[in-house]
Structure 1
Amino acid sequence: MSFRLAAYAVCVEDGRVLLARYIPPSGEPLWTLPGGRVEHAEDPLDAVIREVAEETGCDAAVERLLGVDSRVIPAAERNVPGPEHHNVGIFYRIRILGGQLRPEPNGRTDEPTWTPIPDVAGLRRSSLVDIGITLSLTLPATGHVAPVSVGGLIQH
């Protein structure tokens, strides 16, 4: 089993959420939250700010911790070949301080965009998007929401 600790940014303004299009090795793009792997010895709070800058071109500040999601992705459902994968995601509400939206240079994310929350349901997206939006809108005391069913437009 592989393991990854990741930090994700949830930025909601004026009924819109900031998303970035991710292009996995399989080649079929999906929308996701800005974020990604926490590097060795990196604080997750620093990681989310770094990831927002890399993937969107914007400077960000963390406003609050929203919660944590832990999921095991079976090998057959992964976007990349490999064993079963355990992902632990830390979700932060962030606000944009400045910068201009642009694609990630030499990366796998492009087209960062503000998306009206009602339009998210019609997008091919990572389940992380639904988890982040739910955490942001409900602010559960436990910092945990029910797992999101994967299938159709919602992917791992």
Structure 2
Amino acid sequence: MSFRLAAYAVCVDAERVLLVRCVAPSGETTWSLPGGRVEHAEDPFDAVLREVAEETGCGAVVDRLLGVDSRVIPAAEARSGREHQNVGIFYQVRITGGVLRPEPNGATAEPAWIPLPDVVQLRRSSLVDVGLALAQTRPATGHVAPVPVGGLIAH
């Protein structure tokens, strides 16, 4: 089994959320939250700010920790073909400056502010739904029920 620790930014402002369009090697696109792998010896708090800057071109500050999500992707559904566990740490983040731009030489092709009602119509990572649920409900446990994958929602 492979394992990944990641940090994700949930940035909601004026009934819209900041998402990034990710392009898979197959050319398929999926919308996701800004964020990604926590590097060796990196604090997840620092990682989420680095990832926002890399993927969107914008500076940000963390307002609060929202929660943690752990999911196992079965081998048959994982890109690598082997079972994978992703542990995601979700932060409420506020953009402080910069201009939206694609990630140079990266996997994200386009950051965009998406109206919240339009999110359900997007092909998106389940991380989007987890992050928005954490931001909307702010559970004391920092945990929400798993998001079913299927249809427009992908791993």
Give the TM-score range, shorter chain.
over 0.9
Percent identical among aligned pairs is 75
Equivalence map 1:1-156=2 (5 Å):
1-78=1-78, 80-156=79-155
The code of the aligned residue for 2:74 comes to: P
**Residue 83 of structure 1: CA displacement?**
1.1
**Residue 24 of structure 1: CA displacement?**
1.6
Q: Determine the C-alpha separation between the residues in 2 that align with 1:42 and 1:127.
A: 25
Alignment deviations for residues 21-77 of structure 1 (CA, whole Å, 9 cap, x no partner)? 011223210000000000000000000000000000000000000000000001111
TM-score by length of 2: 0.98
Q: Determine the C-alpha separation between the residues in 2 that align with 1:122 and 1:132.
A: 17
The code of the aligned residue for 2:105 comes to: N
The code of the aligned residue for 1:61 comes to: V
Q: Tell me the secondary structure at the aligned position of residue 72 of structure 1.
A: strand
Q: Tell me the secondary structure at the aligned position of residue 131 of structure 1.
A: helix
Instruction: Give the root-mean-square deviation of aligned CA atoms.
Output: 0.6
Q: Tell me the secondary structure at the aligned position of residue 121 of structure 2.
A: coil
The code of the aligned residue for 1:93 comes to: Q
Q: Determine the C-alpha separation between the residues in 2 that align with 1:125 and 1:135.
A: 17
Q: Determine the C-alpha separation between the residues in 2 that align with 1:26 and 1:74.
A: 19
Ranges of 4+ aligned residues in structure 1 off by more than 4 Å: none
Residue correspondences, number = 155
For structure 1, list consecutive stretches of 5 or more residues without a partner in the other structure.
none
The code of the aligned residue for 2:11 comes to: C
For structure 2, list consecutive stretches of 5 or more residues without a partner in the other structure.
none
